[in-house]
Structure 1
Amino acid sequence: MAKYEAKTTQTSLRPADYIASLEDGPRKQDAEILLPWFEGVTGLEARMWGPSIIGFGRYAYTYDSGHSGEFMLTGFSPRKANMVIYILPGYRDLSDKLAHLGKHKTGKSCLYLGRLSAIDMTVLEEIVRDGLAYMRKSYQTWDK
């Protein structure tokens, strides 16, 4: 059996350079807001994960299959359709906070937002902090 290679790994691209390369518009404007916002909320330096995800911190995981690797603790990606916020533990016990967040959709570990102007950033901060606390309690983590 072939060894599994993670598709999304840390790269040497600077997050600010990636954001600067985005097409001018609302998604780029929101990314320019989120980069320093995430750095302030997490206290961590931004790193690129793959070609389009801006991540903060990292953790080690091992699946039941034996596959292991590393991934970011939290982060975001300015996609064409939505701004995606990555909350790695998912959204268990966050229904009250999500009800007060503003317009959004959820995936397994993704929070899909339209414009930041429609989001309560204080609630988003609580959600990101809760996710970080869970990850740090549950996994071996690093700041870089």
Structure 2
Amino acid sequence: MAKNKTTENESSVTDFINAVADETKRADSFAIAELMEQQTGLPPKMWGPSIIGFGTYHYKYESGREGDAPLIAFSPRASSIALYLGSSFSSREQLLAKFGKYKSGKGCINIKGLADVNVDVLKQMVHDSFTHKGDAHC
């Protein structure tokens, strides 16, 4: 079975964010990292080369594939910032209705930047997703 490429590592989150070329996206990434750290009480960690995650859980599929993943995460991408918040916390749809401009991706929510979204709603989504995933995987 193939080894999971997206694993927690000791790379510097600060160095990774500082390397983001777009100045606004870089500032937003630092702000999102701080917001997620405040909401989770956990420090940011690099997962693979480009995902910043908080917390960890172990998963195992019926197929036998298993591994570890962050409870919540985000990644500054070329055209957007991907927020990995999970899709099954109970307040998700209600909060997304008040969130602002976003696109749903496979397993993530993509935003252009913090100026396009309601940051208070983002805080609540991070809190609710983290609490739900933590409860489900502990």
C-alpha distance in structure 2 between counterparts of 1:5 and 1:61, whole Å: 14
User: Deviation of residue 131 (structure 1)?
Assistant: 1.0
Q: What corresponds to 1:56 in structure 2? A: 54
Do the aligned partners of 1:91 and 1:109 also contact (CA within 8 Å) in 2?
Answer: no
The within-5 A match list for 1:34-49 is: 34-49=32-47
Matched, 1:30 2:37: no
**Is structure 2 residue 96 aligned with structure 1 residue 112?**
no
TM-score, length of structure 2 as denominator length: 0.92
1:125 aligned to which of 120, 123, 126: 123
Identity %: 33
Q: 1:94 aligns with which of 92, 95, 102?
A: 92
Q: Any unmatched runs of 5+ in structure 1?
A: none
- Distance verdict in 2 for CA 1:61–1:73, change over 3 Å: same
Aligned twin of 2:82: 84
After superposition, the C-alpha distances for 1:22-78 in whole angstroms (9 at most, x for unaligned) are 214221121121121111111111000011110000001000011111000001101
Superposition CA RMSD, Å: 1.5
Greater shift after overlay, 89-98 or 12-21?
Answer: 89-98
Runs of at least 5 residues in structure 2 that lack an aligned partner in the other structure: none
